[in-house]
Amino acid sequence: MRFSFFATSTTLKKLYAPEMSKVLLAGGFNGYWNFGDILMLQGAVRWHLGRKESAVVSIHELGRVQDAQYLRQLPVVLGTEDFVFFSSDTGDTASTKARELGLEPVSPTRLRGAARLHVYGGGYFNGRWGDGMLALVESLLHAWLPGHYVLSGLQVGPEFASRLAAHAHQWQPLLLGCRDPESVQALVEHGAPALLSGDDALEELDRAAEEASRQEPRPKAPGRFALHMNLSTYAYTDPGVDPDSLPPPAATMNEQLQALRAHFGEAAAPVVLNAYIDERPVVEDSLAAMRKTAFTEHFPQADVVDLVGLLFQGRLSQAVERIRECEALVASSYHVTLLGKVSGVPSHLFAFNEYYRQKKAGLAESETSLKDFLEGGLPSSLERGGAYIEEQRKVRREWLSRLATNLGQPVANVNWVSRASTWLEEARTELRQEKQLRAEETQATRGALEELQARHHALLARCEAGEARVRELEQQLAHRDAEGTALKGELHGVRELLASKEFELECSTKREEELRASYEALLTTEPPLRHRLVDDLNDRLIKSAGGQRAHRAIKHLMRVTVGRGK
């Protein structure tokens, strides 16, 4: 990944001035207004300005700059007037936006003077954000060739430890500091000389707590607690896990709200702490969580404190005052939880995935759930939190002393010949890599072409066989069409013969019906001929044999016998 860099003309004069030393700060804050990231940058800026550096330059993402007014507000909030804006966009998009903002491109061959690179803290070296951040850091190293290179306050995911250890082996930083023991152990196991540095925001939090202590203390309000919520996916899932396979973040947070109401009572009025100002829908901090959860059902009354807004105005101590009114603080943010511990309030960090479990271990919180925290006794939690903060202050004093000693060593002023030689070697390396990549692509393309040709020949043979089969089927179809035509003619003749026979049958049927009707008529109107002949014969026999009386008797007997008498 290649980056372009831009700066104001005032900052460029400092970067190009051979007599000026400068320190570049890259880390958690790149233009996304997260409470903890801002605190760590403010702490790094204040510490380096205290060492009388000629220029403290913060690295900022160009895409996060809205307009010129935004550029004018950055120094007020972050404490330094010098920024270098980076972009990974290709083409003219970044250059066009930079020109519109009055920014000019940084020319690495014109960089002069002693330079230091300090990569300050945050939890970005992991499977989610590690690749992009490491690419940015290495691009800065290539461009500036700093005489001193240090890292501090890091949380390193175990899945990224080998990558960061390989980077450290290549670039040989003077110091490699982590804020939690698990990160140190993971890097040491991969051969990197990591040390425990503590968190880079601790001094800023202590400063706010000390300022709040100078005010009249407010009495604690019974049943009041401080609450920070975060419904963003990265706070609930691990890399590679489908978010849809887990309960929705709002449902998980609702369970915590029920437990808080059960403990503090239905009259509790929490102090809600908002720790992230961001327009992106993927970021859902406390204000968004109040709308998306059952918060108002459980707590119809609440106060809201915007931590980022107070940082903008330099009034973080007022947040400490409000937190000290509470019996406890529960949060979805590492730095909000750290703020609670520094403020002297029993504090608990929600941990719903491995990323936050590592944060929780770094805060030395032994309880695994909100229920354990509430039922385990808030006074004992407060005692453990106080001991943890004291230990962290000691770690920070030792680390900052070591950091000052290492950065106090003379820094070689890299001349333009060295820079040009480095860029030339980088160009050669990139050219070799490009040639190797092209050779691999050519080989892969040749193999793919050969495979395509083989497939083409196979398909061609199949097509030829298919065409032969089509011709055969066409011939069969033509033969069958001729047979079909003959059969159709024969069928037509049979149908005509059948129609003729049906007509003859119909005529015969009608004739039969007519004859039957005639026959029935004859039966009903006149005796049959055979009966008349028999009667006539009988009459003659009777008359000749027995006279008139015998004739009538035989005639009557005949009527009965043959059924005539109608």
pLDDT, tens only, 459-511: 888 888 888 888 888 888 888 888 888 888 888 888 888 888 888 888 888 88
Amino acid in the structure at residue 106: V
Write out pLDDT tens, residues 285-317.
999 999 999 999 999 999 999 999 999 999 999
Residue 182 and residue 291 in one domain: no
Residue 222 and residue 193 in one domain: no
Cα gap 140→227, rounded to integer Å: 39
The pLDDT of residue 401 is 97
Residue 258 and residue 327 in one domain: yes
Residue 221 and residue 195 in one domain: no
Q: Above 50 in pLDDT, residue 565?
A: no
| Any domain includes 128 | yes
What is the DSSP track for 69-110? HHHHHHHHHHS-SEEEEEE---TTHHHHHHHHTT-EE--GGG
Cα gap 425→266, rounded to integer Å: 68
Of the candidates 109, 120, 167, 104, the residue with the CA atom closest to the CA atom of residue 23: 120
- Whichever domain contains 23, its CATH number is 3.40.50
Phi first, then psi, for residue 317 (nearest 5°) are -60, -30
505 vs 250, more confident: 250
Domain boundary among 381, 397, 413: 397
Residue 31 and residue 108 in one domain: yes
Write out pLDDT tens, residues 379-419.
999 999 999 999 999 999 999 999 999 998 887 665 545 55
Residue 264 and residue 308 in one domain: yes
Cα gap 45→309, rounded to integer Å: 19
| Any domain includes 460 | no
| Any domain includes 72 | yes
Write out pLDDT tens, residues 327-369.
999 999 999 999 999 999 999 999 999 999 999 999 999 888 9
Domain boundary among 199, 227, 256: 199
Sign of the CA dihedral with 127 first, then 166, 83, and 123 last: positive
Cα gap 360→344, rounded to integer Å: 18
Residue 12 and residue 72 in one domain: yes
> How open is the CA angle 493-494-500, to the nearest 5 degrees?
90
Of the candidates 79, 87, 27, the residue with the CA atom closest to the CA atom of residue 53: 79
| Any domain includes 438 | no
Write out pLDDT tens, residues 87-105.
998 778 999 999 999 999 9
| Any domain includes 342 | yes
Domain boundary among 171, 199, 227: 199
Residue 141 and residue 41 in one domain: yes
Q: What is the mean pLDDT of residues 138-153?
A: 94
Of the candidates 150, 149, 159, the residue with the CA atom closest to the CA atom of residue 186: 159
| Any domain includes 210 | no
Q: Above 60 in pLDDT, residue 526?
A: no
The pLDDT of residue 542 is 62
The total domain count for the chain is: 3
Cα gap 464→191, rounded to integer Å: 64
Q: Above 90 in pLDDT, residue 152?
A: yes
- Specify the residue for token string 């003959």: 486
Which H or E run contains 118?
strand 115-119
Contacts for 218 with CB less than 8 Å, ≥ 6 apart? 321, 324, 325
Residue 39 and residue 184 in one domain: yes
Residues 349 and 334 sit within 8 Å (Cβ to Cβ): yes
Contacts for 260 with CB less than 8 Å, ≥ 6 apart? 225, 227, 268, 270, 298, 330, 370, 374
Residue 180 and residue 323 in one domain: no
| Any domain includes 322 | yes
Q: What is the mean pLDDT of residues 96-116?
A: 92
What's the domain range around 77?
A: 4-199
Whole-Å CA distances, 322 to 214, 268, 318, 408, 430: 14, 15, 6, 40, 55
Write out pLDDT tens, residues 124-135.
999 999 999 999
Residue 494 and residue 389 in one domain: no
| Any domain includes 434 | no
Q: What is the CA radius of gyration of the chain?
A: 51
Contacts for 312 with CB less than 8 Å, ≥ 6 apart? 76, 77
Residue 240 and residue 182 in one domain: no
Dihedral, 529, 530, 534, 536 alpha carbons, nearest 10:
20
